[in-house]
Amino acid sequence: MRTPIDPEEEPQYERLPVINLMHIMLQQKKRIGLSFTQNADIIRILEKDGRFEWNGYYHAYHCLNTPKNLSWIMETFRGIAWINGKKFFERAYYGNGEPPKLIEQWRNREKEKGKRYAPKEYLDKLEAKCYSENTCRTYITMFERFLNAHKEIAIMHIQEQDIVDYLRFLKTDGKSMSYMNQMLNSIKFYYETVMGMPNRFYQIDRPKKKKVLPKVLSEEEVADMIKCTDNVKHRCIVSLLYSAGLRRSELLNLEIKDIDSKRMVIYVRDAKQGKDRHTLLSERVLKDLRVYFKEYRPKKYLFESPDGGQYSHTSVTNVVKRAAEWAGIQKNVTPHMLRHSFATHLLEHGTDIRYIQELLGHNSTMTTEIYTHVAVNQIKDIQSPINFLNLD
């Protein structure tokens, strides 16, 4: 099989028409779709061959998805049209190589009669791709909500319009853009990754996220939260979220061995997108951690539940919210708000944004730059123009 023609690598074919390959499922059979701007020569070739049919819903010609047919397309249109197969041959991220532990729990859970559950293949693929446990939890939960909203339709008969209508319903129901994108990701994962049809729903417009500035706490508010938390375990949780800029899942995944007191760093394993990184270990936090360790004696994870398992996401959220209440903070404080505050306060104290990027585990400074919009150190000395008015 020849490599798909890439317009950027073949500038000498600049004026050739483009055929976009896509995956189509019709009558429970996988088919290769060919989408292109109206072109009499391409249509004549396809209709003369006899294996292609037109589908008005997808606005594409299509044939059975077989290696032989794919090779025929590549060879026949070589020099006649560009074959854009970028999304058709696209590969997804495969995690860091460690299967998520919770998949087995989802397989063995008790099933309620009349409720639809993610197919076995869905769970198997999440496990095989080694997605993070947080991603697995989100995908499974979201996809099952979608399935149970379409109980009257067989899973392989669901069409693009059904998904579009459901996303529209979520929007009218007040769901955020982030929620709707997560829902779409969970749906596309089944059809495009599990069932091997990448780009099947390429015509669905992805909801655009609103550019919302991160909510942060003042340094005084963070200090009050820590000082008001008497329980040493809870104080360590609040302190670590803030002092190291950790996500909630990263805090829960910390093992005792990840606290490097000799180098004064914390090793964050398998963070977002499977990346590892180091972040800050504060001397003050280390003192509390030593007191906590002597009192609680965790076995593997730094923070464990009473039965010895991993501490729960809900427990961490509750610890943070209680600390905020005791500190008299009226805001709806979340664990992630402490991470935002970590980045903002470092920026306000003059830390180079590239170092903050590394500590947070961002791919680029473009993501980190959002904190420049909430840092106030550069505007404190600017006077409002109303101060220049003669109002006395």
**Which tokens go with 142?**
């979201």
Interaxial angle between packed helices 232-243 and 313-326, expressed in degrees from 0 to 180 and rounded to the nearest 10: 90
Tell me which of 58, 190, 191, 371 is the catalytic residue.
Answer: 371
Count of Cβ atoms closer than 10 Å to residue 42 Cβ: 19
235 flagged as catalytic: no
**Which tokens go with 379?**
């505007």
Instruction: Look at the block and give the residue holding tokens 């993501």.
Output: 367
Tell me which of 200, 233, 339, 345 is the catalytic residue.
Answer: 339
On whether the CB atoms of residues 46 and 32 are closer than 8 A, the answer is no
Give the rounded distance of the alpha carbon of 95 from its chain centre.
12
248 flagged as catalytic: no
- Measured distance CA(258)–CA(4) in Å, rounded: 45
On whether the CB atoms of residues 19 and 36 are closer than 8 A, the answer is yes
Give the rounded distance of the alpha carbon of 333 from its chain centre.
22
- Residue 373, SS3 per DSSP: helix
336 flagged as catalytic: yes
Tell me which of 269, 272, 290, 313 is the catalytic residue.
Answer: 272
Tell me which of 235, 248, 340, 362 is the catalytic residue.
Answer: 362
The DSSP bridge pattern shows strands 18-26 and 82-84 to be parallel
Q: Diameter of the chain by CA atoms?
A: 88
Tell me which of 150, 278, 290, 336 is the catalytic residue.
Answer: 336
362 flagged as catalytic: yes
- Measured distance CA(261)–CA(257) in Å, rounded: 10
Tell me which of 188, 247, 248, 345 is the catalytic residue.
Answer: 247
Active site residues: 247, 272, 336, 339, 362, 371
